Amino acid sequence: MWRDVLRGRNGGVIATACLGEAIYAMNVFLVSTAMPSVVRDIGGVRFLAWVNTLYLIAAIVVGAATGFLKQQLGTRQLMLTGAACFAIGSLAAAAAPAMAFVLIGRTLQGAGEGAIAASAYALLAEQLPSKLIPKALGAMAMVWAVGALVGPLASGVLTELLSWRVALLMNLPLIAAFAALVLGSVPAGRAAEASHRLPVSRLALLAVGIMLVALASVAGGFAWPLLGCGAVALVGVVVTDRLATVHLFPRDAFRPTTQLGAVLWVALLMPLGQASTSVFLPITVQNLWGYRPVMAGVVVATTALSWSLAALLVTLPREVTPVRCIRIGATLTALGLAAATLAIPQRALLPVLAAQVTIGAGFGLGWGFLNQVGTEAAPEAERDLAAALLPTTQNMGYALGAAVAGLIANATGYARELAMGTGHGGVAVFAMGTALAALGALASQRLKA
């Protein structure tokens, strides 16, 4: 029942997680709506994908280390540190005189978001009964609905009337409120004595692997060798982690023959596919279709609104089958991306909006149950790691997807078309997103009901 989710200690835990999610959600819409104005003002369209990629690299590395950091610092201190890092990054991005400073600010934001998101998911797993987690995640999804309504409109209006710099500062009040709520709702706890050192080498290899994939998007003739080296590095992280004494991931992470492994592949491939539209659709709508920033924000917000509504609706029935919801959701995401691939070159706004609704509904139907199924599939001693790994895997999917989309956009000339404001390209970018999401739908079929 929803009253069990919202009352007493459960309510404080949910409120903390929701506000942490709100920081992320609001920032997504602020940045995606304002970024076309940023590149027109200070340049750097060639590195547009890096605005998301560097943010996500930092989020992934810190998120992967959350299990270790949570033991050493405690949940409260980790969340407060993440909030401070996010605030500093927001200030740096808003004051940026050149794209390099925007990228530095986004990296700091990513590190803060990685700590906040992973520790919030772990907090839900350790404080709530398993049956309440999908409802808790449904409540968190509603935050995206609010962000989708407020973020793009507010960011678009502020960008048009004042400046994109003002728009990028809108999340500072949320960060302050989150810090206050953490102090009031999350027990201080006691940090454990450091019995093991932070596995810096594996975290560095993780960052290098994603960075190599990102570099491939702007490396010209060296693109494919860099992409291959990046893939080898990422596989190496998973393999060496299984052999290590101190683990960043559960032992079954990414084993396709296990329940947890299949969950993580779905969680990786769905955002990997969707990154094509999340990165390139807003600037396509503005630079090629001629719409103002507010309309670009509406196009982006459509996905979040349908995600939130589907996540809420799926929690209402007394009995739902988690695995079935995951399978339907992954399939809808792939179908929505396929529809977008056909509609975007035609500049067909209504079909694109319908495709965005389908993509969002797919995520909303299945995402909350991915957390539940994955956490339950992990051994008791590794459930904390499994819960924290889901948002980290999601961020990894978006980072790799943004890099691959950027690589294809540069290789096919689509990035140049966006900079010039002419052309009808982009088919290859969005078609690759569709193919990756389709692999996620296939991975969902391996889940056991």
Residue 324 lies inside a defined structural domain of this protein: yes
- Res 434: pLDDT: 95
Tell whether 194 is covered by a domain. no
Structure tokens at 241: 């982690």
Q: What is the pLDDT of residues 149-174, one digit of tens each?
A: 677 677 777 777 788 888 888 888 88
Is 291 among the domain residues? yes
Whether residue 89 lies inside any domain: the answer is yes
CATH classification at residue 125: 1.20.1250.20
Specify the pLDDT at position 195. 53
Query: For residue 143, is pLDDT > 80?
Result: no
Distance between CA 60 and CA 55 in Å, rounded? Answer: 9
Residue 158 lies in a domain: yes
**Cα(124)–Cα(127) distance, integer angstroms:** 5
Tell me the one-letter amino acid at 318.
R
Q: Among all chains, which residue has been given the structure tokens 């009040």? A: 173
Number of domains into which the chain is organized: 1
Interacting residues of 322 by C-beta distance below 8 A, sequence separation 6+: 134, 369, 372, 373
pLDDT for 190 beyond 60: no
CB 166 within 8 A of CB 48: no
Q: Is residue 80 part of a domain?
A: yes
Q: Which two tokens stand for residue 70?
A: 């949570």
CB atoms within 10 A of CB 396: 26
**Domain that includes residue 143, residue range:** 2-188+199-444
pLDDT at 64 over 80: yes
- The mean pLDDT of the chain is 81
- 193 within some domain: no
Q: What is the largest CA-CA distance in the chain?
A: 60
Task: Give CA separation, 246 vs 199, 250, 320, 409, in Å.
Answer: 7, 10, 37, 39
Amino acid identity of residue 40, one-letter, is: R
Judge whether residue 193 has pLDDT over 70.
no
Please give the pLDDT value at position 266.
Answer: 95
Q: Give yes or no for a contact between 378 and 252, defined as CB atoms under 8 angstroms apart.
A: yes
pLDDT at position 273: 93
- Does residue 307 lie within any of the structural domains? yes
**How far is the CA of 329 from the CAs of 28, 225, 334, 364, in angstroms?**
22, 34, 9, 7
> Does the global pTM surpass 0.85?
no
Q: Residue 399 is encoded by which pair of tokens?
A: 């980072």
pLDDT (tens digit, 9 = 90+) per residue, 316-356? 655 668 888 899 999 999 999 999 999 888 888 889 899 99
Least confident segment among 113-122, 210-219, 428-437: 210-219
Q: Residue 32's pLDDT is what?
A: 74
**Rounded-to-integer distance, Cα 44 and Cα 46, Å:** 5
